[in-house]
Chain A
């Protein structure tokens, strides 16, 4: 998640000889990029005509050495601190500047490394560092909420607003941001596990439409392997830090109409006929029997997997949690071979075509609550501006993320937004994205505080099985036992 979009940047070398086809392709791509830039530019210009700012003056309080903003009524507005991980801090800074300008609150951004974000935030919570709003991953959300580190926005925001957001956010995302019946935040972004494929490659072997089920995925991959001499046409990310393997498992299971855990949170995969067992068997076979996927996935992050999809030679299929990888693949300049292949998204193969959804949210911290009601209200304003609607009722910040980075989103009205739709059409299919979101569910087990520990443990066990250090049955049995021990 570190790569910047370079839309609008021409990477055609001066004096280089290009074929007519390449030239047309590059011109089209350039035009596409120009449309993206124009869209973003126009959109931001719209921001400049937002409501008049409420700030009267900004003063520095001597001694206290901090800047405060004073409103026309003489009320001091608190400074708000947002902690975020290292994805496009330039955009985050800029969003905060707009917020400060139009809402009056001084702001500060604390950027923490993505991989170490959780550890540093745990230290910040236990040390009660002055952070008011923070990014939260849904996989950690329940743990943080049950530790009392986050405050429900439902206790702060007006009830009509909460009601409105509950109607406008996707059900899966809502569920992922809810703990003990209360909504705890608004989404920074949300996405679904997505099935991406190389349409050009399929055409070469005479396949006109993407696979409908996982058996077809295997068949097409074997054909690609045989006829196009591509060693492992299917890509996935199973690196421990991403928890890609359990998420992959959840996705395949859901796509076949099952769940990993039943309603009583009991593991389902002990039954060998269950979709959960068969899903993991499919992955094991894909790597060890059909050899259409590689254990290299254990050391490749999702974005690197996306890059490999457009690598040399390109790959056929990819299962990724970041649908914006399609944006990276199809807009020139992101990866070395971006725009040179025809990558598309298909509905998740499987009986139900359902997939896993996830969300990253803005949460309000207990430290903000300790600073008093004014700070809590201010923190809500910030959360709403960043993850919800601004004063004119637009999802302004989310739209910006979509237009500039192609991030996934769970605000349903945005799927009908003409600017968003035309932008996505440059690199993907807005209808399909919308349909896939509708066919998505939260990971089962996510609401349990021990879930992240189980994810870590299961990643290890599944890797061991795939590497044939132990049998698949033994690994799955261990995984089930671990979950049961965490339920106690």
Chain B
């Protein structure tokens, strides 16, 4: 038993060191920065302890509040649609039909495309002068002149949400498909023999089995949605009129454009707290412990 423990420790130490250097140290260091003045444009003042001043300044600023609202709007649009679509596609490709394997493979493509490359594709699709969406809408007589999607605050938010949904749905669908495939077929058959319809069978039987996977997906997608950055970087740069300036973009602006690492760290920690809190709430609501039998 003792040698087993030693072996375990020997295996754990190398990744722990790597994690400590690449994850824990930067986390602690950025926490430290968030309580100090860290304006790289004023080297003489760097490192001055300011207590909670950075937090009170940033969290009460209009830029932060508007970026928080933008984040909530985009998360609010994209998260439910993303989850519903993932579940729907998973249920669909769980059925036995010809070409199912090909469909599963094709489904992976959006997930495999890097976010930045995907963003560029969306940018072309919605281009105001020669984008295919404009061409289709115009040809079908739905619009009289081409729309500048990224110059309209709401349309820009919707396109960003669309890019986020497109990127994440395949992963979600495959995760839920894996869960669906472990649902015991005899239980489904029993439910049907007892007279349960498709919807009731899904709610009372299938959902019980896929609930843990759905929870995992919900947590992951929520975190991803709050951290949204790549799509903004490629599609809108936070515009128009700041409509897509989300928290992730605000961190980038503060740290790398304004060289205010202190403010960037504050927003990063706020974001981390939000995502951790949401994860805990989800776990509580979904009753993970009961589901997992632990």
Contacts and interface: CB of A to CB of B under 8 A. Distances in A.
Contacts of A461: 241
Q: For chain A, which range describes its interface: under 10, 10 to 19, 20 to 34, or 35 or more residues? A: 35 or more
Nearest to B245: A460
B256 interface: yes
A102 interface: no
B233 interface: yes
B43 interface: yes
B269 interface: no
A147 B259 contact: yes
Nearest to B150: A299
Interface in B147-195: 148-153
Given A298-B239, A298-B240, A467-B151, A146 B43 contact: yes
Contact of B151 (A122, A147, A295, A456): A295
B42 A467 contact: no
A369 interface: no
Contacts of A115: 233
A294 interface: yes
A21 to B, nearest CB: 27
A479 B253 CA distance: 17
Tell me whether chain B's interface is mostly helix, strand or loop, or mixed.
Answer: loop
Contacts of A142: 41
A446 to B, nearest CB: 14
B145 interface: yes
Given A298-B148, A299-B148, A147 B239 contact: no
Interface string B85-100: 0000000000000000
A118 B256 contact: yes
The CB with the most chain B CB atoms within 10 A, among A240, A294, A464, is that of A240
Interface string A430-473: 00000000000000000001101100110111011001010000
Interface in B218-269: 233, 236-242, 245, 252-253, 255-259
Nearest to A454: B258
Contacts of B241: 460-461, 463-464, 467, 469
B128 interface: yes
A146 B151 contact: no
Interface in B104-137: 128-129
B150 A467 contact: no
Contacts of B42: 146, 449
B215 interface: no
Nearest to B149: A299
Interface in A227-255: 231, 239-241
A263 to B, nearest CB: 22
B271 interface: no
- Closest 5 pairs between A and B when the two form their complex, measured CB to CB: A464-B241, A119-B256, A299-B150, A460-B242, A240-B237
Interface of B: 40-43, 63, 128-129, 145, 148-153, 233, 236-242, 245, 252-253, 255-259
Interface of A: 115-116, 118-119, 122-123, 126, 142-143, 146-148, 231, 239-241, 294-300, 308, 311, 449-450, 452-453, 456-457, 459-461, 463-464, 467, 469
